[in-house]
Amino acid sequence: MKRKIAIGFEGSANKIGVGIVSLDGTILANPRHTYITPPGHGFLPRETAHHHLAHVLPLVKSALETSKITPEEIDCICYTKGPGMGAPLQVSAIVVRVLSQLWKKPIVGVNHCVAHIEMGRVVTGADDPVVLYVSGGNTQVIAYSEGRYRIFGETIDIAVGNCLDRFARVLNLSNDPSPGYNIEQCNVMNVAIVSFDLDDFEIVITCNAFKFKGWQFLGSSSVDIFYREWWGDKCVSLP
């Protein structure tokens, strides 16, 4: 029996990627390109969309060449429908609609959050997991119930990923490959770590809702105190 093959487009934030996979989860190709902004800066929707537009077609070509798959062998074209940043999402949506017409293939819109969970299920083999979903803009406890994924708890102020991104901008850390990675490297290399008394601070959990804004405030406030003294060769990280 012919194996089912899908090509997918992800462009919800600062990364544009084109993947080709088979129904059993085998990754045949996964080229991607990340929009890297200068240290201390985030990425804006318009500039991010321009980046995606410049790289998406070369990524399609690369994915087809790497997978040795032709458009005729593809069964459907998937794309991130949301959630995400509007302008970057539109780039993938437009490209997918054009390719659908050219290749005469059906389109499948994918929920970004559900895709993360389903990829985790494929990798781990989990059947019915309770998921702690942590991405750039999401920090949620999710499980499958009554025919759909449902949120049983979530942050009500700031996601952990956004908290790390903002803290890295305060430190003027590089965004390459990602702010969170570079914060972690400061810990790995033991570069000027500030210790916090966790007995005086805690994550607030009320009615299955989480608050992380205090972590960002605590870290950023410490930067205001210590950062100038350690400028150039030292770093402060979150606890």
> How many CB atoms sit inside 10 A of residue 221's CB?
11
The yes-or-no verdict on residue 21 having pLDDT over 80 is yes
Looking at residue 155, its pLDDT comes to 85
- For the record, the structure tokens of 85 come out as 């940043």
Lookup result for tokens 């985790």? 120
Mean pLDDT of 130-140: 87
Q: Could you tell me if 177 and 34 are in contact, meaning their C-beta atoms sit under 8 angstroms apart?
A: yes
Looking at residue 96, its pLDDT comes to 98
DSSP string, 130-142: EEEEE-SS-EEEE
Q: pLDDT class for 231, splitting at 50, 70, 90?
A: very low
Looking at residue 193, its pLDDT comes to 42
Which region holds residue 23: left if phi is over 0, alpha if psi is between -120 and 50, else beta? alpha
CA angle 134, 234, 199 (to 5 degrees): 55
Looking at residue 2, its pLDDT comes to 79
Which region holds residue 196: left if phi is over 0, alpha if psi is between -120 and 50, else beta? beta
> What residues contact 143, with CB distance under 8 A and at least 6 apart?
128, 129, 130, 131, 149, 150, 152
Q: pLDDT class for 206, splitting at 50, 70, 90?
A: very low
The percentage of residues in the chain with a pLDDT greater than 90, rounded to a whole number, is 53
Residue type for position 211: K
Looking at residue 10, its pLDDT comes to 97
15-22 and 204-206 beta bridge pairing: unpaired
Residue type for position 157: D
Q: Could you tell me if 79 and 9 are in contact, meaning their C-beta atoms sit under 8 angstroms apart?
A: yes
pLDDT digits (tens, 9 = 90+) for 104-113: 999 999 999 9
Mean pLDDT of 10-32: 95
Q: pLDDT class for 64, splitting at 50, 70, 90?
A: very high
Helix axes 160-171, 179-188, angle to 10 degrees: 70
Q: What is the mean pLDDT of the chain?
A: 83
Looking at residue 188, its pLDDT comes to 65
Mean pLDDT of 207-222: 52
**Rounded distance, CA 149 to CA 96, Å?**
26
The residues pairing with 7 across neighbouring beta strands, listed in sequence order, are 20, 77
Q: Which has more confidence, 48 or 197? A: 48
Mean pLDDT of 98-109: 98
Mean pLDDT of 118-142: 89
Q: Could you tell me if 32 and 17 are in contact, meaning their C-beta atoms sit under 8 angstroms apart?
A: yes
- Domains defined for the chain, CATH in brackets: 5-124 (3.30.420.40), 135-239 (3.30.420.40)
The yes-or-no verdict on residue 132 having pLDDT over 50 is yes
pLDDT digits (tens, 9 = 90+) for 156-197: 888 888 888 888 888 888 889 888 888 888 766 655 444 444
pLDDT digits (tens, 9 = 90+) for 66-93: 999 999 999 999 999 999 999 999 999 9
DSSP 8-state secondary structure symbol assigned to residue 158: -
Mean pLDDT of 117-126: 91
